[in-house]
Amino acid sequence: FVTLVEMIVKAFVPALYASLGMFIPLIVVNCIILARAEAFASKNGVLLSAADGLGMGAGFTLAITVIGIIRELLGNGSVFGLSLFGEGFEPMLLSIMAPGGFLVFGLVLGVANYFMNKAEKKKTEEKGVIRA
């Protein structure tokens, strides 16, 4: 459905399509989030579903904020319009483009996995269990 809407907007309202750019396909992400929430809510009670929804919403908000701040720092050297690196800073323009989002996401995921594995290893060593 999203692809059909995108094609219609591109054909009949090219100015709107040009301004929206890649945001029309991003509607699919919203559908994925809502489908996950609906699947959880159909199998659990209201209170647990509400808590899950709040937790998932907070998690997505935190993830998007962290990725956005990192991209802004790398791409412009600023956060909320405040320059942090001075005038000699050479921005990494790739970070503010679409591929930069995936690169930053991968870096954040890698750092998170590193620290989670480190914590798991420490926990395992405290129990005296040797992991293969």
**92, pLDDT greater than 70:** yes
- Cut 0.75: pTM above it: no
Name the residue with higher pLDDT: 81 or 128: 81
SS3 state at 91: coil
- Report the share of the chain in percent with pLDDT over 70: 96
pLDDT in tens, 25-38: 777 778 888 888 89
Burial zone of 104 (CB within 10 Å; 0-12 exposed, 13-18 middle, 19+ buried)? buried
The mean predicted confidence, pLDDT, of the chain is 87
CA-closest candidate to residue 108, choices 56, 62, 53, 58: 62
- pLDDT, residue 129, reads 60
pLDDT of residue 88: 85
